[in-house]
């Protein structure tokens, strides 16, 4: 059932949609730009050659973690271009004139540069090992040392395949930081560390991070000596957060109306998750002008949920075969032999896809319906195959299940349909091939490891865990989970490469 009822959604209200708040937010943009400039130029000369590199990186890191970086893209580029001029594979110090290398600055710089598509080598961290080629920390723990190890850990989370030094860095930093969390008192830094343990880079939501970091900085300004620059950043971030929250409250009513107008609440076998999906996508894309993208994403993900529930738990195998054939034909007359609930699902699917295709045509300047229909055909075909496995009791090979699972993860259709609404022209070959293969793999494996027990209780034998155990007689469920978790870790590195490689911009 849906916990977000009509009255609850209609009751949303916020004062932050008022013009006054928007005007003040615009004023603060200029003041934050002034902070960027104060870290860079004074009378034509750079300020503080002792720590200018760290200051620039600190500023970029903070506006990104606070979720306000889209307002300062020019300033960020200027800052990173400056620091990158001093970057070398022999590490960097806090400032351009620093005589000694600094792990904190180097790790922070490496992470930011990689996230921005710059070419940086992880070999730079070899310079911070001891004579035994090991990462070590001094016996006297300090906040600076802990922050340095923290940024080393953050850097290790965006490792590419075969970057052994970053694997070593993670193995060193993780236990060090876990021990630091056990040392009182609780500080802003310890809360930063805990957040990164809870939400690593590949599973982080920018808006969730912004909310957490706003709280951390706010507590720091209360408990410590207030810093004028931090207070200004915090004021801008709070205002941006609340203004967008006001927009979220209005936007959420759109998928609710779509859901209600199509009579979807009458489909009692499906999960009502549009509130969850909207929260998710608005935690990723916080650009106010991208409302159509967010709403398209919510609708697409909800359609996937409807199909998932129908193929997985409700439809009979004969009904599902007929439904699959009807969708492949995209002809309403093909639904005449379907039960009433499937006719309703077909109409919701067909009309919503056509409606979103019209929105996409406004952005792309051409008809893109064929790409979406093909992606949907592939998706429901993969689901039918899994339904047939369940109906016949067939347990496929691990590889057979895995390859089909990349399609049934729904990643391609969930990605393709929404991005077509963005004002970015996508050429033919991109729309045919758009995908992050490792992402689809991770989604399938993660889903199976989390739902294995529930699926088994329903009699579903085809999962990556059962397939692995069948191919490896004598292996336990724990063995299968360990193997799959190792696969996921390797795929995360591949995904990092697919997404962050320097030639991917």
Q: Which tokens in the block code for residue 434? A: 């758009």
Structural domain contains residue 443: no
Q: Which tokens in the block code for residue 479? A: 């063995």
* DSSP H or E stretch at residue 46: strand 45-46
pLDDT at 226: 62
pLDDT over 60 at 2, yes or no: no
User: What is the extent of the structural domain holding 175?
Assistant: 23-244
Half-sphere exposure of 312 (CA within 13 A, CB side): 19
Q: Dihedral of CA 192/196/198/202: which sign? A: positive
pLDDT over 80 at 352, yes or no: yes
pLDDT at 40: 62
Residue with structure tokens 């390859």?
A: 403
CATH number at residue 341: 1.10.600.10
Of the residues 403, 435, 467, the one at which a domain ends: 435
Q: What is the pTM of this model?
A: 0.89
Q: What's the average model confidence in pLDDT over 237-248?
A: 93
Q: What's the average model confidence in pLDDT over 22-34?
A: 90
Structural domain contains residue 13: no
Same domain? For 159 and 283 the reply is: no
Q: What's the average model confidence in pLDDT over 120-144?
A: 89
Same domain? For 344 and 228 the reply is: no
Same domain? For 293 and 430 the reply is: yes
Instruction: Name the residue among 502, 499, 496, 503 with its Cα closest to residue 120.
Output: 502
Mean pLDDT of the residues in the chain: 88
CATH number at residue 46: 1.50.10.130
Structural domain contains residue 322: yes
pLDDT at 284: 92
Which pLDDT band holds residue 347 (cuts at 50, 70, 90)? very high
Taking a C-beta distance cutoff of 8 angstroms, is the pair 397, 467 a contact? yes
Q: Name, in order, each residue with C-beta under 8 angstroms of 379's C-beta and a sequence gap of 6 or more.
A: 304, 307, 407, 408, 410, 412, 413
Same domain? For 220 and 275 the reply is: no
Encode pLDDT of 277-327 as tens digits. 999 999 999 999 999 999 999 999 999 999 998 998 889 999 999 999 999
Taking a C-beta distance cutoff of 8 angstroms, is the pair 146, 153 a contact? no
pLDDT at 42: 46
Structural domain contains residue 357: yes
Which pLDDT band holds residue 373 (cuts at 50, 70, 90)? very high
Encode pLDDT of 295-307 as tens digits. 999 999 999 999 9
Structural domain contains residue 55: yes
Same domain? For 185 and 309 the reply is: no
Same domain? For 330 and 406 the reply is: yes
pLDDT at 25: 86
Encode pLDDT of 165-214 as tens digits. 999 999 999 999 999 999 888 889 999 999 999 999 988 999 999 999 99
Structural domain contains residue 379: yes
pLDDT at 43: 43
Structural domain contains residue 116: yes
| pLDDT-wise least confident of 185-199, 224-238, 258-272, 457-471 | 258-272
Same domain? For 49 and 70 the reply is: yes
Q: What are the backbone angles phi and psi of residue 70, rounded to the nearest 5°?
A: -65, -20
Of the residues 392, 420, 435, the one at which a domain ends: 435
Encode pLDDT of 421-445 as tens digits. 998 888 877 776 666 677 888 888 8
Same domain? For 300 and 404 the reply is: yes
Structural domain contains residue 494: no
- Provide DSSP, 445-476: HHHHHHHHHHHHHTT---SHHHHHHHHSTT--
Same domain? For 121 and 41 the reply is: yes
pLDDT over 70 at 121, yes or no: yes
* Rounded distance between C-alpha atoms, residue 213 and residue 219, angstroms: 10
> In the chain, what is the straight-line distance between the N-terminal and C-terminal CA atoms, in Å?
43
pLDDT at 435: 66
* Rounded distance between C-alpha atoms, residue 39 and residue 54, angstroms: 10
Q: How far is CA 160 from CA 184, 437, 465, 499, in A?
A: 35, 15, 26, 10
Which pLDDT band holds residue 255 (cuts at 50, 70, 90)? confident
Same domain? For 429 and 287 the reply is: yes
Query: Which residues on neighbouring strands pair with residue 41, listed in sequence order?
Result: 46
Same domain? For 238 and 256 the reply is: no
Same domain? For 226 and 267 the reply is: no
Q: Quick one: what percent of the chain has pLDDT higher than 70?
A: 90
Which pLDDT band holds residue 263 (cuts at 50, 70, 90)? low
Instruction: Name the residue among 333, 343, 279 with its Cα closest to residue 310.
Output: 343
Of the residues 211, 244, 277, the one at which a domain ends: 244
Number of structural domains the chain divides into: 2
């Amino acid at each position: 059932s849906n916990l977000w009822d009509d009255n609850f959604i209609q009751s949303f209200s916020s004062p932050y949609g008022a013009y006054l708040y928007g005007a003040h937010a615009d004023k603060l943009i200029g003041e934050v730009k002034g902070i960027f400039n104060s870290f860079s130029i004074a009378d034509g000369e750079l300020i503080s050659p002792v720590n200018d590199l760290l200051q620039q990186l600190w500023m970029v890191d903070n506006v990104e973690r606070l979720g306000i970086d889209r307002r300062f893209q020019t300033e960020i580029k200027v800052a990173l271009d400056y620091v990158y001029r001093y970057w070398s594979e022999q590490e960097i110090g806090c400032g351009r004139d620093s005589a000694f290398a600094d792990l904190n600055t180097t790790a922070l710089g490496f992470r930011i540069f990689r996230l921005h598509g710059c070419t940086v080598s992880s070999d730079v961290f070899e310079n911070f090992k001891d004579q035994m080629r090991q990462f070590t920390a001094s016996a006297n723990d300090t906040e600076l040392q802990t922050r340095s190890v923290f940024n080393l850990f953050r850097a290790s989370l965006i490792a590419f395949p075969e970057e052994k030094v970053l694997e070593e860095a993670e193995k060193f930093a993780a236990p060090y930081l876990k021990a630091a969390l056990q040392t009182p008192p609780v500080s802003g830094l310890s809360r930063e560390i805990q957040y990164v343990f809870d939400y690593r880079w590949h599973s982080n939501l920018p808006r969730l991070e912004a909310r957490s970091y706003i709280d951390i900085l706010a507590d720091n300004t209360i408990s410590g000596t207030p810093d004028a620059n931090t207070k200004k950043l915090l004021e801008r971030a709070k205002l941006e957060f609340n203004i967008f929250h006001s927009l979220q409250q209005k936007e959420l009513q759109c998928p609710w109306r779509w859901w209600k107008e199509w009579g979807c609440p009458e489909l009692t076998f499906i999960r009502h998750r549009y509130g969850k999906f909207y929260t998710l996508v608005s935690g990723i894309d916080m650009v106010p002008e991208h409302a159509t993208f967010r709403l398209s994403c919510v609708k697409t993900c909800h359609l996937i949920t409807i199909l998932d529930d129908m193929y997985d738990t409700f439809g009979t195998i004969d009904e599902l075969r007929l439904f699959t054939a009807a969708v492949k034909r995209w002809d309403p007359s093909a639904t005449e032999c379907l039960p009433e609930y499937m006719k309703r699902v077909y109409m919701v699917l067909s009309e919503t896809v056509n409606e979103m295709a019209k929105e996409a045509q406004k952005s792309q300047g051409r008809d893109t319906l064929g790409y979406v229909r093909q992606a949907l055909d592939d998706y429901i075909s993969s689901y039918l195959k899994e339904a047939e496995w369940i109906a016949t009791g067939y347990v496929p090979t691990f590889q057979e299940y895995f390859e089909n699972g990349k399609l049934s993860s729904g990643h391609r259709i969930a990605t393709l349909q929404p991005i077509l609404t963005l004002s970015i022209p996508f050429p033919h070959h991109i729309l045919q091939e758009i995908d992050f293969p490792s992402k689809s793999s991770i989604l399938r494996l993660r889903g199976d490891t989390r739902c294995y027990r529930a699926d088994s209780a329903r009699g579903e034998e085809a999962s990556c865990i059962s397939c692995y155990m069948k191919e490896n007689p004598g292996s336990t469920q724990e063995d299968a989970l360990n193997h799959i978790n190792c696969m996921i870790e390797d795929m995360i590195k591949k995904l990092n490469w697919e997404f962050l490689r320097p030639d991917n911009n």
